């Protein structure tokens, strides 16, 4: 199976407790096919945001119906307010996929009775992983890319409602940025491209989990985005194979890199290589359709060199200034022997992990 060489950001999302105490950022997802009794203890990301929430606002959340899109305001001091249902065409933070009565969840029968305390963070994560998966996947008609930008998330009733016996939990989908942090989106998830891409000109490093982490291009990074391509424009009526994607992106990413830097000669002088990560067929069929084209530097050991500074200006490679490449051979005519590539460049490749780099 073809997979991305560099996986997208943390598959976290938020587990939301709409209370007057806190909105918790969820920890790492556990495997979907385990039972809650076999599940490992959730690993905390260490990210938590203490907030104050108006219960009157929270009521709009817990009364929302399947298909509703929800949003809220977050002040500079972390205060959360103005929970409202909005038209899904507007920017929002959550799309409701299901309403669950926690009293009826088989694995937790008896755990959420009248006198039960509100679930703590670990329980909230378990509810997200083991209770929200089915309604979310069903809502998406089975088409949800687990490596895409939309992640399952639960919302529990406000504290006052919980105390009065409300055991309703909303399960839904939350958009995330490439680093896994919650963001906003316009439009319904079913109609959206689930690809987690960055804007042209952004640079990315790897976080501790191996996910893409957008950083300032002045900071050490591995890749700089030079293009974004929706493969449906080229393959409008079918799922392209990895080989077809690589053949198309081999040309498209070189062209994007040349345009980004100012021409063919500028790309050659940069000593950087166009690079891309193709999409696994199952991810494509689930709703991920776009890819980034990048610039990278091969470290000579099937890996990436560390870059600092934008490729459009002065930059270093592994902390050292760029070494100018040798003069280019004249463009060859038909029948001439192939010209040599710059040091560190390789022939066009389409590897088993679905990535490619073009020697230049």
pLDDT score at 62:
64
Q: pLDDT at residue 55 above 70?
A: no
pTM: 0.75
Q: What is the pLDDT averaged over residues 213-230?
A: 97
Query: How distant, in Å, are the alpha carbons of 77, 263, 307 from that of 322?
Result: 43, 18, 10
CA dihedral 240, 246, 251, 256 (to 10 degrees): 90
Beta strands 203-206 and 316-317, pairing class? unpaired
Contact present, 168 and 158 (Cβ < 8 Å): no
Per-residue pLDDT band for 138 (boundaries 50, 70, 90) equals very high
- Residue of higher predicted confidence among 300 and 90: 90
The percent of residues in the chain predicted with pLDDT above 70, rounded, is 73
pLDDT score at 181:
85
pLDDT score at 79:
67
Contact present, 140 and 152 (Cβ < 8 Å): no
Which H or E element spans position 98? strand 94-101
**Quick one: tokens of 316?**
């270093």
Q: Is 308 helix (H, G, I), strand (E, B) or coil?
A: strand
128-142, 212-226, 254-268, 326-340: least confidently modelled range: 326-340
Q: Is 99 helix (H, G, I), strand (E, B) or coil?
A: strand
pLDDT score at 174:
94
- Residue of higher predicted confidence among 153 and 34: 153
Q: What is the pLDDT averaged over residues 126-144?
A: 94
pLDDT score at 23:
25
pLDDT digit string, tens, across residues 5-32 = 333 332 343 334 332 222 222 222 222 2
């Amino acid at each position: 199976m073809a997979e991305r060489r560099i996986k997208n950001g943390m598959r976290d999302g938020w587990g939301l407790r709409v209370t007057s105490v806190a909105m918790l950022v969820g920890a790492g997802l556990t495997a979907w096919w385990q039972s809650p009794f076999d599940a490992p203890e959730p690993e905390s990301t260490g990210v938590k945001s203490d907030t104050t929430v108006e219960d009157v606002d929270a009521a709009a959340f817990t009364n929302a119906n399947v298909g509703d899109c929800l949003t809220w305001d977050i002040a500079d001091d972390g205060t959360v307010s103005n929970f409202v249902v909005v038209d899904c065409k507007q920017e929002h933070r959550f799309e409701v996929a299901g309403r669950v009565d926690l009293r009826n969840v088989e694995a937790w029968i008896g755990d959420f009775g009248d006198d039960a305390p509100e679930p703590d963070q670990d329980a909230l994560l378990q509810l997200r992983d083991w209770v929200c998966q089915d309604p979310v996947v069903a809502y998406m008609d089975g088409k949800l890319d687990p490596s895409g930008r939309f992640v399952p998330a639960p919302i529990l009733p406000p504290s006052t409602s919980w105390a009065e016996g409300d055991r309703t939990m909303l399960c839904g989908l939350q958009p995330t940025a490439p680093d896994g942090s919650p963001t906003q989106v316009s439009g319904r998830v079913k109609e959206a491209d689930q690809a987690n891409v960055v804007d042209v000109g952004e640079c990315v490093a790897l976080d501790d989990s191996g996910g893409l982490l957008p950083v300032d291009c002045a900071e050490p990074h591995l890749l700089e985005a030079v293009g974004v391509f929706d493969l449906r424009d080229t393959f409008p009526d079918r799922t392209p194979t990895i080989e077809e994607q690589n053949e198309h992106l081999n040309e498209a990413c070189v062209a994007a890199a040349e345009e980004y830097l100012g021409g063919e000669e500028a790309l050659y002088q940069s000593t950087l290589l166009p690079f891309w990560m193709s999409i696994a067929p199952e991810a494509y069929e689930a709703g991920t359709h776009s890819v980034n084209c990048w610039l990278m530097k091969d470290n000579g050991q099937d890996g990436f060199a560390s870059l600092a500074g934008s490729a459009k200006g002065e930059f270093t490679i592994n902390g050292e200034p760029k070494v100018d490449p040798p003069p280019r051979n004249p463009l060859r005519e038909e029948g001439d022997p192939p010209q040599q590539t710059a040091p560190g460049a390789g022939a066009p490749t389409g590897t088993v992990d679905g990535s490619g780099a073009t020697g230049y």
